[in-house]
Copies of this chain bind each other. A is one copy, B any other.
């Protein structure tokens, strides 16, 4: 066990938020503060200390209204690794089926002296709505196509670990930009930290309104391969698409999938990341996913560290 007081001290005074709703509302300083804290936690985890008793009197609830493995488990692990209890809430077996509103469900959970609600919901704005109506902390674990801030943070942390900084890097987000909360959180975070962002995919999945915040867009992956320091390969979110946005998966894979041939035309030290779960053979071939440029599994490790940091910063304040 690590001694709390000695190693970790207090939550930095520069952080005074009780919620983590998205990266759009954070300053560059706040994002760096989370990244720095996550880096410290990650180093401790890697060293083999799996428990840091920082939040021993806190209880979190995993309030997930959409399917999830990694995010739900990652938050749960993160909470326990800094000493908090975690209650699992499965929407399908809940009072929602009896006609209860989400705010009543959340207020009921809070009334049980819960300190933090980690929420995933298909409706954008749900975390914000809960934050406005609850006294406890709210962490956004993905709200429809809006934001997924801890995914954005873990992507950015993984990039920073490889390149040391985000300033001046060119990061390309490939694929389903329109339906991707991961894309949105990446764009806000990357821009704030000084990276150039390119969004690239079929025109049906790439909206041009991102131009307004200085994002470049492009419909041809091959045109940007030699310019990108980082390729973030987004998953095709079949479950979010009402209409089929491209003729076939084979065509998508042909035009936008990363494979060995395309890897030979990238920068020498290009970094491949993907929010996962990956669809092998669609947006990425095994050769690339398992290759030396890929940091896909490092992202997962960073995810736990980022969530530990988010939980500690929002819940650990005096």
8 A Cβ contacts from A97-115 to B: 97-101, 104-105, 107-113
Q: A250 contacts the other chain (Cβ, under 8 Å)?
A: no
Asked if residues A101 and B280 are in contact (CB atoms below 8 Å), the reply is yes
| Chain A interface bracket (under 10, 10 to 19, 20 to 34, 35 or more) | 35 or more
| Bound CA–CA A304/B57 (angstroms) | 16
Closest B residue to A61 by CB, please name it: B73
Asked if residues B67 and A57 are in contact (CB atoms below 8 Å), the reply is no
Residue-by-residue, is A99-134 near B (CB-CB < 8 Å gives 1, otherwise 0)? 111001101111111000000000000000000000
Interface-facing stretch out of A87-95, A181-189, A208-216, A224-232:
A87-95
- Residue from the set A94, A97, A235 with the largest chain B CB neighbour count within 10 Å: A94
Asked if residues A77 and B69 are in contact (CB atoms below 8 Å), the reply is no
A77-B87 contact in complex given A112-B304, A276-B100, C-beta closer than 8 Å: yes
Asked if residues A111 and B67 are in contact (CB atoms below 8 Å), the reply is no
| Bound CA–CA A35/B94 (angstroms) | 28
Closest B residue to A300 by CB, please name it: B111
Q: A278 contacts the other chain (Cβ, under 8 Å)?
A: yes
A95-B57 contact in complex given A87-B76, A301-B112, C-beta closer than 8 Å: no
Question: From residue A239, how far is it (CB to closest CB) to chain B in Å?
Answer: 7
8 A Cβ contacts from A51-67 to B: 51, 56-59, 61, 67
